[in-house]
Amino acid sequence: MAATRHRGRRGGAGRGRGGGGHGGRLRWPGVPAGPARRGAPAGRRRPRCVQRGAARHAARPRLGRTRGTGMPVNARSLADGWTRRPPAGPRPIAALAAAVLCAALLGLAPARMAVAQSCWTGGALHLDFGAVTPAGHTDAQSSGLSYTCQNGTQDTAYLRVCVFANPGQWGTVAPRRMFNYSSPAYMSYDLYADPARTQVLGPLGGGFPVHSWTDQVAPGTSVTRSIPVYGRVPAGQNLPAGGYQEQGVNGIVRFRQSAIAPPPASDCLVAGGANVGFSSSGVVASFANACTIVASTVMDFGYVASLATARTATSSIQLRCPVNAAWRVGLGAGSHAAGPVRRMAGPGGHLAYELYQDPGHGLVWDNAQGADQGGTGTGQAQTLTVHGRVPPQPEAMPGTYSDTVTVTLTY
């Protein structure tokens, strides 16, 4: 903006009625002056925020005199380095308006500070499968891991969040492994991105599908989200009883940001953006020291026409115990025993019989210590054979005779 230039007239000695030929100009404080006027000495700066040629009704500034000549200062003397003296009376209205305008113009360009969006993780990855059995798979979920993103800008931040889980201390993925230090053995397990346990959660660059989702953070706000991780121990593992663990299952969370829309998941596979690590407090499980009776069969002596001779038969008991687990199996006296004698009941009363551990029918099998049968678990089903014998005895009324014997498994 340039002020209006007025033609000056020479007045009497020491008096001037108008501004000289020095053109008016506005300048903001602190901004370097423009090119010097032709003929002006180099390095001189023009007056700051000064408007020349005020209105007629305003008080006119007085001009200084040149040294020793008494001549009024003209435009040339101003250009040669002399400066205007401040007015003796009130400040001209036009000059005041120019100062106000300078301040207003300065206010048009306020400083704008922008704080970049930042993200970090919290908590640690931890899974506890509890007691595991070979009968079926065992699931667990980690809910201790989270992330927080803070947006200090004036624009909405659109995020792509990607999670990668590194191999643990035993160095494998799909399956991962926990170790039993007491009875050296590995338990297989894996980490998954979804509750259905269909997408394996693997390391960056491991060739597994990228586990990612989108998020957004409004200007000047922050969000905190949980990062669920799902685990599964598959069924059918035959292991020693005891505790299993794996440490060092850490990983990274990658954040990719845009001010328009969330970036694609493929962006997480290239370098750049924010990478934030997370730690692990371990994955643990215990293989239950649990033995089970898988099945048992009926001992059937068949149809007999006479009890004058002994009858024999066999049945089986199938059990499963963890590897190296000691077990013992005892047989009860039955529902119709008379003292130490087992009996079957039927229409004609009772028929005596006995159960043995051996085919020669010399070692009775019952619940007493030393009369039961023992062994060590293999993790697989183990089958025991029970040998039965109906000794010769008086004839009985025809019909069906039976007894129920309780099998006790101790481990």
CA 35 – CA 308 distance, rounded (Å): 139
Q: Name the pLDDT band for 353 (thresholds 50, 70, 90).
A: very high
Q: Reply yes or no on whether the pLDDT at 297 is more than 60.
A: yes
Pairing outcome for strands 124-132 and 274-287: parallel
Domain ranges of the chain: 1-111, 118-287, 292-410
Q: Reply yes or no on whether the pLDDT at 314 is more than 90.
A: yes
- DSSP for residue 4: P
The secondary structure of the chain in percent helix, strand, coil, rounded to multiples of 5, reads 5, 40, 55
Q: What's the pLDDT at 53?
A: 42
DSSP 276-325: EEEEEEEEEEEE----EEEEE--------S-SSS-EEEEEEEEEE--BT-
Instruction: Mark residue 334 as left, alpha or beta (left: phi above 0; alpha: psi -120 to 50; beta: remaining).
Output: left
CA 293 – CA 321 distance, rounded (Å): 9
Q: Name the pLDDT band for 368 (thresholds 50, 70, 90).
A: confident
118-287 and 292-410: identical CATH topology: yes
Average pLDDT over residues 170-191: 96
* Cross-strand pairs, 382: 319
Q: Which CATH number is correct for 118-287, 2.60.40, 1.20.1530, 1.10.1390, 2.40.160?
A: 2.60.40
Preceding omega of 219 cis (within 30 degrees of 0): no
CA 371 – CA 123 distance, rounded (Å): 56
Q: Reply yes or no on whether the pLDDT at 33 is more than 70.
A: no
**Per the structure block, which two tokens stand in for 52?**
């020349």
Q: Reply yes or no on whether the pLDDT at 41 is more than 90.
A: no
Q: Reply yes or no on whether the pLDDT at 95 is more than 60.
A: no
* Cross-strand pairs, 293: 319
Secondary structure tally for the chain: helices H, strands E: 2, 21
Point out the least confidently predicted range of 65-74, 256-265, 327-336: 65-74
Which of 122, 80, 45 lies closest to 278, judged by CA?
A: 122
* Cross-strand pairs, 244: 285
Q: Name the pLDDT band for 117 (thresholds 50, 70, 90).
A: low
CA 110 – CA 266 distance, rounded (Å): 40
φ, ψ of residue 176 in degrees (nearest 5): -85, 170
Q: Reply yes or no on whether the pLDDT at 112 is more than 70.
A: no
Pairing outcome for strands 311-320 and 381-390: antiparallel
Average pLDDT over residues 191-204: 97
Average pLDDT over residues 155-178: 96
- CB count in 10 Å sphere of residue 115: 11
- Please name the residues in contact with 244: beta carbons below 8 A apart, sequence gap of 6 or more: 178, 179, 180, 185, 186, 187, 284, 285, 286, 287
Spelled out in words, what is the top-level CATH class assigned to the domain 292-410? Answer: mainly beta
**Mean pLDDT value across the chain:** 79
CA 234 – CA 64 distance, rounded (Å): 101
Higher pLDDT: 163 or 39? It is 163
**Per the structure block, which two tokens stand in for 300?**
């059937």
Using the structure block, give the residue that is written with the tokens 């990478």: 275
Q: What's the pLDDT at 51?
A: 42
